[in-house]
Structures are given as C-alpha cells and as structure tokens.
Amino acid sequence: MSDMRTEAHPGTYGDEARPRVGFFTDTTVCIGCKACEVACKEWNAVPGDGLDLTGESYDNTSALGANSWRHVAFVEQDRPLRVPAEELGVDRGDGDGFRWLMSSDVCKHCTHAACLDVCPTGAIIRTEYGTVVVQEDVCNGCGYCVPACPYGVLDRREEDGRVFKCTLCYDRLQGGLEPACAKACPTESIQFGPLDELRRRADERLAKVVDEGYLGARLYGRDPDDGVGGAGAMFLLLDEPEVYGLPPDPVVTTRDLGRMWLVASIAAGLLLTGIRAAVGGRR
C-alpha cells in the first residue's frame, strides 16, 4: 500500500529550506515556574481561559489546548528521585523519598503529522523549518485535526471557531530569534535548536542522568522510527509517558490510510453490486 503520509522535510522550499528545528525539554531540571506558559501567551497574544483551581498539584492549566500552547504538568510521587546514595556508593543527600515531576508539554511538530495530513483546507502547513503551523487566515474550523492528533494538542477556540496550537514561534524564527518559551526558561529545561544537535544533546544528557542514578529516565519522541517518524519536540522524562499524560506509543493514523481507502472501495463495490442485484434486469 502506498504511503500517504506527508513528510517533515520541506522539499518544496528549495533554497529557502532551513535546517529542521525543534525543542528538547529536559524535565530533570524543570522547576515548574510556568515562565514558558506565560511567555508563550504574551508573545503569541493567546487569550486566557479564566482561573480554575483544579487541586491537581500546582497544575491549573490541565492540558494543551487552543489557549494553552505550553502546559507544565506536575506529578507528585511517593518514591525517591534517584537510586539511594549508599547503593551507588556516592556522597550526596537523598531527600525525603518523595519526588515532584514537572514537565513542560508542547506540540510535538511530528515528522508525520496527522493534523497536517487530515487538514482538508491546507490550512496546516509544514514550514521551511520543518515545523507544523496552522494558517489562521485559511482554517475554517472543521475540527478534523482535533481528534486526529495522537497527543491531543489541537483544539478549537469556541468563541473564535478556528483551531489554534503552538507555532514554534514561526515569526520569531523568521526574525532569527528562539521561541519565547525557550527564551524565558530560567533553567534551560526547554532547549531550542536544530533537531540533529538536540538529539545529540538529549542522548548525552540521558547518559548522564542514568549515571547519576535518576529513576525511570528515558527519552520520549527521540526515535525517528516511532509511530510519528520522530517528534520535533522531544523530552527527557523520569517515568512512563502516560504518567505525564502523554501517549506511550503514538501513531499517525494516516499510516493506514491506503488500506482504509481500499476497504471503503471494496465496500462501495459490494454496495453497487448489491443494489444492482436487488433491482435485477429489465422487467
């Protein structure tokens, strides 16, 4: 079956193509300050959603959506952050056996992006930086991208009718600046750069934190062979992805589109044959 997925690399841009950029979010140094959420809202003029106190740790944003393009997750766990010092034979304090995981989530800017694939108007495009952007002047608010995204990133802004998500600060990139969230992050938990460079940095950082005994450390979205062809935004997590509200093995559903059309065509053929058989020949 032919592969119908769209590609990350902006082949059609020719000379204007730029190296693919993205984010590497190192959650081991996230302090949950939400400066990324604020900077994103300010730069992109994203409206507020009102204040809703959820009681879910320090998280009152709850999820990514039309009005939240960065979302810091807070997870409280009754387990130590690292392997106990005496087991490692090193000299350091071990805390109180409780850990607080924080992670700033964002659009993954997938290599094979389901939202871009299914968008019927061509409003969602691949930019010259390999990022995925919704063109606000084209989107007609059909909402198809909303359930298509395997990460639940996109949503419709009710009072506006259109769909909004992270643009990886397309305007800032064109001006030679890094995205607002990365710029505002005080601990360099959010790192911006060319994807190749970020992947190298992520690998090095993972090796280091594993060495230091961090429990559950793993990279998420790093693998170019995963269900979305690798993400443009990858993460160093300290637990299973689902603990942070991320899907453990996301897949771009367009992968199966050729076969789906085949099934629909066969069903259509059967319907045609069935109707003709029910009617029969000339009376």
Contacts of other proteins in 243-282 (CB under 8 A): 243-251, 253-254, 256-257, 259-261, 263-272, 274-276, 278-282
Q: Which is nearer to other proteins, 210 or 264 (CB)?
A: 264
CA gap 11, 14 in Å, rounded: 6
**Pairing of the two strands 70-77 and 99-106:** antiparallel
Question: Could you tell me which residues come within 8 angstroms of residue 97 by beta carbon, excluding any fewer than 6 positions away?
Answer: 78, 79, 80
178 binds other proteins per the rule CB under 8 A: no
CA gap 145, 261 in Å, rounded: 19
Q: Restricting to residues 73-132, which ones interact with other proteins according to CB under 8 A?
A: 73, 75-78, 98, 114, 117-123
167 binds other proteins per the rule CB under 8 A: no
174 binds other proteins per the rule CB under 8 A: no
Spatial CA neighbour of 105 closest among 53, 183, 166: 166
Nearest distance, CB of residue 269 and other proteins, angstroms: 7
Direct distance between the N- and C-terminal alpha carbons of the chain, in angstroms, rounded to an integer: 43
Produce one character per residue of 169-205: b if its CB has 16 or more CB atoms within 10 Å, e if not: bbebbeeeebbbbbbbbeeebbbbbebeebbebbeeb
Interface mask (CB under 8 A) for other proteins, residues 210-239, using x and -?
Answer: ------------------------------
Single out the segment in contact with other proteins by CB under 8 A; choices: 4-12, 32-40, 41-49, 180-188: 4-12
Q: Restricting to residues 39-78, which ones interact with other proteins according to CB under 8 A?
A: 54-57, 59, 62-63, 65, 73, 75-78
Considering only 69, 151, 170, 220, the residue that binds other proteins (CB under 8 A) is 151
Nearest distance, CB of residue 138 and other proteins, angstroms: 6
8 binds other proteins per the rule CB under 8 A: no
CA gap 109, 112 in Å, rounded: 9
CA gap 99, 235 in Å, rounded: 18
